[in-house]
Structure 1
Amino acid sequence: MHALPLAIMAFILYIAAASWQGLSLARRVPPRAMLVRSFGALGLLFHLPLAFGLLEQGQSLLPGLSTSAVLVSALAVLVLLVVSLFKPVLNVAAGLFPLAALTLLLATELPSPERATGMTPGIALHALSSALAFALLAIAAVQAILLGVQNQALRHHHIRGVVQSLPPLTTMERILFELIWAGMVLLTLSIASGFVFVDSMFAQHLVHKTVLALIAWVLFATLLAGHHWLGWRGMRAVRWTLGGYLALLLAYFGTKFVLEILLSRG
């Protein structure tokens, strides 16, 4: 499998889609949702063979850094394209697509160590729910950044440019919490299935991932509780969302990077 040409094609298509959506946000070009979705979907068509190819090579209990990065970024793009058909979240593509593009290019040069362990249905449930949770919460993180930009602009009475292109503030907040709720359901399923189906979740190199995932769960749960009972919103919601996602990012990729890149080189 020639990974680099596929990654380059996906990179070009993702950047093209993100550029149009970004220019649309800046009111430099007219909105073209179908164009952005089409370029994003074409990028995904070049992206998916890389993900499937890496999965077939590894057949591992815990996919390596490159496999995880390629798979999760593909899922994030796919989820965004599907959700954008029902919710006004396509603006997230301006931030998410470039991240997926860069991740794809970088991941083709990273090692993907193989392990002999097979994947049982329980492990598959854990892996899939983990990847979907990360993908949904990645979209929520970009949505939170847009919400933060919008909130600050309105607070300083800057109502031109990007702010004019975004949905109303209440709609942006509602979508953010809907994304977090969906992500939390999947994250809860991921953690629970991990304790049930993965041997010794706190043993070997899983302890850091497990603790960080639990910290992320607590942060997101606190945010949802604060929103429901205390009316948390605005910049507080943005900060808690980004804090929870940072913990999740470290859980998924921080420990993998240290173990597979830094320690292997050392």
Structure 2
Amino acid sequence: MSLPILPLALIALVAYAHASWRAAGARQDRSGLISLLLALGCHGLALVGSLQEADGRLGLTQALSLVTWQTALLLALLWRVNTLWPLRTAIYPLAAAGALLVAVWPSRSGAEAPHDWKIALHVALSIFAAGLLTLAAAQAVALSVLDRLLHKPEQLNRVLRMPPMQSAEDWLFQLIGAGFFVLSLALLSGLIFVDNLFDQHLVHKTLLSILAWAIFGALLLGRRRWGWRGRRAVRWALSGYGLFLLAYFGSKLVLEQFLGRHWS
């Protein structure tokens, strides 16, 4: 029995919109939480339905939608962290777009569902790293906005409603540290478990991922040894995230949509 993907995606869209509206009004109440849980549930079911129709293939649109769903889920798990509240007005609409994506533009191509637990572990770690680093990138953008507002006296009232700069920076590096750790495991598992790296056209993806990993590692080292912060930290974080997106989704787009090749 196939799941009704479009109705589920539309319900998720409305629920995400309501949760985002409550968050924009700085309302931390049960109504917003219920909407978020409903959105996550319907989004997840829409993803399952899309994967069923694609015979278990994780195509480009399913992968994008899965990352947005996971990012919203991580933010839900961090519901009580006041510092991350501003991210909801950006992450929830992003997740809503991800839910709608698999309904209106389902990808029928992609890598077959991995049957080997080793490859499945590698894919799961990669997606988990993507969710953490997406949340970190959103926090970096929020930190950049806060930094700019601090230099505009007329925005004082708005600044007072936002989290303290130090707390925002601390959470940025916590998210990057967690994403870096999971990305390290994903890269290690890929190098160990994936056979015939050159034959599967995965070299470019691997090299870009390692470069992104190196940038995040250098940022964490710079923070620890030289106290990097502020705009420098934001630039490094967004540079690493941009390379990570290019490594996974950029490569996936080119290989699947233009070259007709598939990989996880």
Give the TM-score normalised by the residue count of structure 2: 0.89
1:34, distance to aligned residue in structure 2 (A): 3.6
Structure 1 stretches of at least 4 aligned residues deviating more than 4 Å after TM superposition = 114-117
What is the aligned partner in structure 1 of residue 217 from structure 2? 221
CA contact (8 A) 2:82 2:163 kept: no
What is the aligned partner in structure 2 of residue 7 from structure 1? 9
Amino acid at match of 2:232: R
Q: For residues 195-254 of structure 1, what are the alpha-carbon distances to aligned partners after superposition, in whole Å with 9 as ceiling and x for unaligned?
A: 111113344332222122111101111111111111110011111111111111112211
Instruction: Sort the Cα spacing of 1:100 and 1:174 in 2 relative to 1 into closer, same or farther, 3 A.
Output: same
Amino acid at match of 2:204: H
Picking from 31, 45, 49, the partner of 1:49 is 45
SS of the residue corresponding to residue 112 of structure 1 reads: coil
Amino acid at match of 1:132: F
Q: Is 2:19 the partner of 1:17?
A: yes
What is the aligned partner in structure 1 of residue 109 from structure 2? 113
Segment drifting more, 93-102 vs 31-40? 31-40
What is the aligned partner in structure 1 of residue 88 from structure 2? 93
Segment drifting more, 33-42 vs 137-146? 33-42
What is the aligned partner in structure 1 of residue 177 from structure 2? 181
Picking from 65, 74, 79, the partner of 2:69 is 74
Partners in 1 of 2:113 and 2:35 — Cα distance?
37
CA contact (8 A) 2:173 2:220 kept: yes
SS of the residue corresponding to residue 205 of structure 1 reads: coil
Sequence identity percentage: 37
Amino acid at match of 1:167: P
1:132, distance to aligned residue in structure 2 (A): 0.9
1:107, distance to aligned residue in structure 2 (A): 2.9
Q: Could you list the runs of 5+ residues in structure 2 that have no partner in the other structure?
A: none
Partners in 1 of 2:111 and 2:215 — Cα distance?
33
1:119, distance to aligned residue in structure 2 (A): 2.4
Q: Could you list the runs of 5+ residues in structure 1 that have no partner in the other structure?
A: 25-30
1:86, distance to aligned residue in structure 2 (A): 4.8
CA contact (8 A) 2:130 2:179 kept: yes
Amino acid at match of 2:189: S
Q: How many residue pairs end up in the alignment?
A: 256
CA contact (8 A) 1:194 1:201 kept: no
CA contact (8 A) 2:62 2:107 kept: no
Partners in 2 of 1:59 and 1:243 — Cα distance?
32
1:44, distance to aligned residue in structure 2 (A): 0.4
Amino acid at match of 2:18: A
Partners in 2 of 1:35 and 1:202 — Cα distance?
51
What is the aligned partner in structure 2 of residue 247 from structure 1? 243
Give the TM-score normalised by the residue count of structure 1: 0.88
Segment drifting more, 252-261 vs 50-59? 50-59
Partners in 2 of 1:150 and 1:140 — Cα distance?
15
Instruction: Sort the Cα spacing of 1:35 and 1:193 in 2 relative to 1 into closer, same or farther, 3 A.
Output: same
Partners in 1 of 2:114 and 2:124 — Cα distance?
15
Instruction: Sort the Cα spacing of 1:101 and 1:262 in 2 relative to 1 into closer, same or farther, 3 A.
Output: farther
Instruction: Sort the Cα spacing of 1:210 and 1:162 in 2 relative to 1 into closer, same or farther, 3 A.
Output: farther
Instruction: Sort the Cα spacing of 1:195 and 1:42 in 2 relative to 1 into closer, same or farther, 3 A.
Output: same
SS of the residue corresponding to residue 156 of structure 2 reads: coil
CA contact (8 A) 1:18 1:97 kept: yes
